[in-house]
Amino acid sequence: NCLGLAFAGMMITSCTDKPTAFADYQIVPMPLEITTPQQSGFLLKSGETIYYTAGNEKMKKNAEFLASFIKEQTGIELKVQEGDKESGIVLKLGLEATSPEAYHLTVDGGKVVIEAPSEAGVFYGIQTLRKSVSVHEGGGAIELPAVEINDTPRFSYRGMMLDVGRHMFTMDEIKTYIDMLALHNINRLHWHLSEDQGWRIEIKKYPKLTEIGSKRSETVIGRNSGKYDGKPYGGFYTQEQAKEIVAYAAERYITVIPEIDLPGHMQAALAAYPELGCTGGPYEVWRMWGVSDNVLCAGNDKTIQFIKDVLAEIIEIFPSEYIHVGGDECPKDKWKTCPKCQARIKALGIKGDSKHSKEEYLQSYVIREAEKFLNEHGRNIIGWDEILEGGLAPNATVMSWRGESGGIEAARQKHNVIMTPNTYLYFDYYQAKDTETEPLAIGGYLPMERVYSYEPMPSALTPEEQKYITGVQANLWTEYIPTFAQAQYMVLPRMAALCETQWSAPDKKKDYEGFLKRTVRLMDIYKLKGWNYATHILDVKV
């Protein structure tokens, strides 16, 4: 066999070039169209060249990504060179398609071509190609079967949230999380940076946010057992570090959307600046889980200024069009008895009605102020579905987390919606029934099959209203997730089910068994990368 190939003049120098592994196109997420012409495929082997659009740095980076993925997965060493050739592996721009993230991948006897309207589309073509090649050692050549793939994402917003307020992760771990997202064609990292239990981003105008607000004296054990571990916990990301994360994500076509959660979930900020609360404190960075009653005082002008100042620094760090301003779980008890909040309610002429209390309208006022500031600076807000209460800010996008009802309501009001229902997409919930052997989790039960069964277009909406459902996201809240290994365990492989919902056309999702088989292949990459993942959940039924 080796001799035969050598006579065919294919530059084969040893028998290790004999195909030792396989390639097919059975990947996650399932591409839109795959056709397999009856002709010979392409022999992928060391020494082949990846060509990229001359003078385009992003395309060069794409070519380097492809070379490094193939090297890591197979040992095959590819060269990278600018230009466009009639042989080898060619990455190019110029495809006409509705979505900039679409791509076209063709493999035939002579060459492999990935063509897309944008560098991002080329990146997704690269992900498809690398996932099509089995993980193996040795550097031996692999036959890529002839194929033509036309692919495009179903949703333009494909997100994963990471909460670093309750527990945080190192810079390298955040980068690994971004690599995990990239492998699943996810293009938004929603970074939840502030919580009752910790403030995690440097704000120069308010240094105590990190000096004081990033440190809690100890952490409650288990599900609020009343016992504490006695160990100080803390940390934060400097603005420089956050920018490094933004750049790392951008190279992988992922936009980082920061969240500063307000006016609730603010006890750590209040510990630093007690004058921003209704009672003036003192407050501690919270040591327990749950929803704190201590929230920003909505009647204090200093608070509104604080919000604007913080957001002003946030938009300098994060170029994302969207900034998440939270809005969830803000208990209004303190506002009811706070003279300043009540005075503001009066001054704004808020009456309250059967639908919403005066305090809900007051929260809406705070969110609108944040929106006004961000809109003036060319940005837009996202908020959790509670921002519907008391009336939506004019240009807000709603993240529907308490099931889908908030999202349905927002779409009817012609606001963009990102579906992230806790009933399907909360990856802090248990993924297997046996809670005795699973690591302690917040509760809930969301096995793979249930995550996979999620259909984000509510049939209650008309086709016109459905257009407002622009995205799908899963969330990782970290109350019970102290280590990165556990974070990986909770999201992998459920992220595979998520990404097929985000990317693939709905008719691709009928075959759950087929999906599981494709996921097992994907897991070889998890294993190669040293990512911690749950295997036993694949056969768990809903």
**Cβ nearer to ligand TNX, comparing 427 with 531:** 427
Cα distance between residue 42 and residue 141, in whole Å:
10
**Cβ nearer to ligand TNX, comparing 299 with 383:** 383
**Cβ nearer to ligand TNX, comparing 17 with 328:** 328
Which of 143, 148, 173, 329 is flagged as catalytic? 329
CB of 292 to ligand TNX, least distance (A): 10
Q: Does 442 engage in binding with ligand TNX (CB under 6 A)?
A: yes
Question: Per-residue x/- marks for ligand TNX, 325-354, CB under 6 A?
Answer: ---xx-------------------------
Size of the site for ligand TNX (CB under 6 A): 9
CB of 258 to ligand TNX, least distance (A): 15
Pick the closest to residue 295 from 314, 320, 274 (CA basis): 274
Tell me if residue 540 falls in helix, strand or coil: coil
Site for ligand TNX in 92-131 (CB under 6 A): none
- Locate 369 and state its tokens: 């102020």
Site for ligand TNX in 398-427 (CB under 6 A): 401, 426
For every residue of 19-48, DSSP letters joined together read --S-B----SSPPSEEE--SS--EEE-TT-
Q: What angle do CA 15, 18, 20 make, to 5 degrees?
A: 120
Q: Does 32 engage in binding with ligand TNX (CB under 6 A)?
A: no
**Cβ nearer to ligand TNX, comparing 125 with 383:** 383
Pick the closest to residue 509 from 466, 467, 472 (CA basis): 472
CB of 441 to ligand TNX, least distance (A): 9
CB of 79 to ligand TNX, least distance (A): 47
Owner of token pair 């990368």: 529
**Cβ nearer to ligand TNX, comparing 164 with 345:** 164
Q: Is 101 considered catalytic here?
A: no
CB of 513 to ligand TNX, least distance (A): 30
Amino acid at 46: S
**Cβ nearer to ligand TNX, comparing 273 with 426:** 426
Q: Does 384 engage in binding with ligand TNX (CB under 6 A)?
A: yes
Amino acid at 413: Q
Q: Which of 115, 359, 389, 428 binds ligand TNX (CB under 6 A)?
A: 428
Spacing of C-alpha 365 from chain mean position: 29
Spacing of C-alpha 355 from chain mean position: 34
For every residue of 271-295, DSSP letters joined together read HH-GGGBSS--------S-S--S--
What is the DSSP secondary structure assignment for residue 192, as one 8-state letter? E
CB of 418 to ligand TNX, least distance (A): 12
Cα distance between residue 43 and residue 51, in whole Å:
16
Confirm if 427 and 446 have CB atoms less than 8 A apart: yes
Q: Does 477 engage in binding with ligand TNX (CB under 6 A)?
A: yes
Instruction: Give the residues lining the site for ligand TNX (CB under 6 A).
Output: 328-329, 384, 401, 426, 428, 442, 477, 479
Report, as residue numbers or ranges, the catalytic residues: 329
